Amino acid sequence: MKDIPRAISDIKSPFLAEVTTFIRTRGLAYSTEKAYLGWIKRFILFSRYSQREQIKASDIKPFLEHLVISKNVSPNTQKTALNALVFLCREMLNQDTSSLNFKRSKRATKLPEVFTHNEAMQVIALLQYPHRLVAQLMYGSGLRVNEALRLRINDIDLDAQSVTIRNGKGNKDRKSLLSPHIIPDLEQQIASVTMQHQLDTKNGFGEVYMPYALQLKYPNHAKSTGWQYLFPAQNISKDPRSNKRMRHHLTDRSVQLHVASAVKEAKILKKANCHTFRHSFATRLLEGGTDLRNIQELLGHTDIKTTQIYTHVVGTHFSGVKSPLTKI
């Protein structure tokens, strides 16, 4: 249950507990919380702070330059670290960060790896259910692996052929399309989860993890069928916050291992993983003439520049440019 926020009382460092509390009052996604806390810890260790009064915004510069010079991090990694430390110093400690001037990472941003359609279908065919259905949602709807695994039954609208992704990256909700091709499999998966939930309920379980705000607003929903995970774990486990025994969702590691095995079995030499399906989804839409703004919305990108990377993946051969060799 690594995607369930740990209790504040379990955090040993009083300062990090304070930072965590501040992050949660701002409503940031749990993935952002973990990333920010990781960078803040590294910043504290690098600067050799022993108390909060020593923290200075001016120390952000040497830390960020250390990441570039000694660690050779990518621009995106350095940017994440910057965001975390500006959040700490400016938002929480009320320090001025406007004069920050540091050496920025110049590492080239690599183009994402993309499956051809045949490669994607070949990998999917080598997977067993429910991992195959997870991959179909990543490729057919552009979901990240954890977005697919956190889906609840209520998030699937078979009539509208749409899926709702809640609390995605950036703590945003969005909708994406569902391929009619997988509707029968989704119906079967929902029926299977419903039967499993009925059995769990008879055995004294049947409750599922709910984010704290939803748990307060809808106290009975945790036991309802609609809020059960679409891809439940095989075994009952203990919620680290409530200590209740309940059924969580499949782990991302499980899906990643199965996908990696299928890629190897398909003899695909690309450096491919679960996220390659999402990249391939965007690339297929762009190849098919879908507007870049629509792709941005389906993927949940905040900045259109993030989506524009796929125009480079598609390349010039879809814009009518031909190689001189074709005239020989």
Largest CA distance in the chain: 74
Q: Is 181 a catalytic residue?
A: no
The C-alpha R_g of the chain, in whole angstroms, comes to 22
Q: Is 169 a catalytic residue?
A: yes
Q: What angle do CA 67, 69, 72 make, to 5 degrees?
A: 65
Q: HSE-up of 167 (CA within 13 Å, CB side)?
A: 17
Catalytic residue among 61, 169, 221, 223: 169
In this structure, the number of other CB atoms found within 10 A of the CB of residue 287 comes to 14
Q: Is 26 a catalytic residue?
A: no
In this structure, the number of other CB atoms found within 10 A of the CB of residue 288 comes to 8
Catalytic residue among 131, 144, 248, 279: 144
Catalytic residue among 6, 90, 107, 275: 275
Integer Cα distance of 232 and 236 in angstroms: 9
Query: Phi and psi for 232 in degrees, rounded to 5?
Result: -70, 155
**Residue 284: which of 319, 320, 321, 313 has the closest Cα?**
313
b/e map 314-324, b = 16+ CB within 10 Å: eeeeeeeeeee
Catalytic residue among 139, 209, 229, 310: 310
In this structure, the number of other CB atoms found within 10 A of the CB of residue 48 comes to 8
Catalytic residue among 150, 174, 278, 279: 278
Inter-CA distances, 193 with 60, 188, 267, Å: 49, 9, 33
Question: Is the distance from CB of 310 to CB of 189 less than 8 angstroms?
Answer: no
Tell me which residues are annotated as active site. Answer: 144, 169, 275, 278, 301, 310
